[in-house]
Amino acid sequence: RLLEKDDFLPASTSFSRSRSPDFERSEVLRDSWAALKRQPDNFDAWIILLTQADQSNDLKLARDIYDRFLKRYPYCYGFWKKYAEMERRHQNFSDALNVWERGILAIPLSIDLWLGFLSFMRELAPQSDRGIEKLRELYDRAVSTAGYEFHSDRLWQDYIAWEEAQGEWRRVSNIYDRLIRIPTALYKTHMERFEAIVNMCNPIDLISEEEMRDLFDVVRRKCDVGVITEHLIKKFWSSKK
């Protein structure tokens, strides 16, 4: 689902938004807008207009121009990021969240856009169980949407690094289980990193108790031994991964 503003924002944040002004009244932008009215597909003229709007420090005016530009050029992911960043600079977190969601809906497979969105949410999320769970839901949504792209490696790596920072090694293992089934550009790197983690960690930190019992049974049958050591478990599990 789309994130709700109340999932992350403090209760004191204002969510009101005034109607945008008619920016033809701005002397700074009048000439640029006149040029666009003559050539509405003049991309360079749009960039000039957006740059001038950013520099004008008129938030209502800049919103109007970004909305018009992105309606015409919705696949320009960098300008969704610029728009959202502008709202964040003005402490308009609800509006920034709305821009990120609009951008993701327009370009759901953009890895750069997802990474920007996730970075924004990491800054905003409270350091609580609820905040962590909401971020985890967003990460899962990101990789479920864009993680099958051949060049989605940075998105997966960002997810893994975040879970590692939480100390959630079992979740890290589960993410790798998903990732190594997808033919991404850095597939070999992911395999090597996963093998290193498997060799570094105690298996009980990476798999559930039920999986551990099943693994003991498999090792006992394969090795035909009565006593199962941690070394045997690691050796057998590493070979399966």
Separation of first and last alpha carbons in the chain: 33
Q: What residues does each domain of the chain span?
A: 212-240
Least-confidence region, from 88-102, 159-173, 217-231: 217-231
Rounded average pLDDT over 45-67? 88
Count of CB atoms within 10 A of residue 8's CB?
22
Q: What is the pLDDT of residue 35?
A: 82
Amino acid residing at 97: L
Please, what's the b/e burial string for 175-200 (b: 16 or more CB within 10 A of its CB; e: otherwise)? bbeebeebebebeeebeebbeebbee
Q: What is the pLDDT of residue 13?
A: 34
Helices 77-89, 93-106: crossing angle, 10 deg rounding: 170
Q: Which of 83, 81, 77, 78 is nearest to 65 (CA)?
A: 83
Q: What is the pLDDT of residues 73-82, one digit of tens each?
A: 999 999 999 9
Rounded average pLDDT over 109-125? 96
Q: Is the pLDDT of residue 125 over 50?
A: yes
Report how far residue 35's alpha carbon sits from residue 53's, in angstroms, rounded to the nearest whole number.
Answer: 15
- Mean pLDDT estimate for the chain: 82
Q: Is the dihedral of CA 8, 14, 16, 22 positive or negative?
A: negative
Q: What is the pLDDT of residue 108?
A: 98
